[in-house]
Amino acid sequence: MAGPSHHVLETPKMDKPTKLLIVVAPYYKDIADGLVTGAQRVIEDAGATHDMIEVPGALEIPSAIATAFRMSNYDGFVALGCIIRGETTHYDTVCNDSSRGLTLLGLQGAALGNGILTVENHDQAWARANPEGQNKGGGAAAAALHLIALSRRWCNTTKGVGFKPMGETIQLAENNKA
């Protein structure tokens, strides 16, 4: 019996120059390499470019992205890493805090895809990281690209609520006098 099917949105093609930053924690190097390969393929297929930096572990990924979000001109970010459950509660701390940090960045407007795997063992990690398998690195890159496309779609729209700029108010008053 087959499992549930998963719907995957078509990855947007970028019509304007688009540059992403891949932030990877290569603690499990083989897993990280698979995630990076998948992400790079998706980014390049979409017509975008990327830079990549490495950080020591998954907890440092949100901090690195936050710094780049504040101080650089990247359009989006891809967070890649792997957390494998061990014998202590450190696993829970790293999973929760890295995820929370990325979520908060997203809520602040960073277009990012979360490709930090949280798994029980190396076999589960490789099944998800393998670019010829579940390709979660590619999925994280696609998520960032989707959010970039949405922000570009909405960047010049307003809700029509609030005060008018001072110059516009003066112009309206002058027009009403005529």
Q: Which residues are catalytic?
A: 90
What six digits make up the tokens of 6? 């998963």
Write down the residue that tokens 């579940």 correspond to: 134
What six digits make up the tokens of 52? 């990549």
**Cα 111 to Cα 75: distance, rounded to the nearest angstrom:** 7
Number of helical (H) and strand (E) elements in the chain, helices listed first: 6, 4
Write down the residue that tokens 């019996």 correspond to: 1
**Cα 170 to Cα 174: distance, rounded to the nearest angstrom:** 6
Write down the residue that tokens 């650089």 correspond to: 72
Mark residue 108 as left, alpha or beta (left: phi above 0; alpha: psi -120 to 50; beta: remaining): alpha
With beta carbons less than 8 A apart as the criterion, state whether 82 and 117 touch. yes
| Nearest by Cα to 45 from 134, 117, 131, 115 | 131
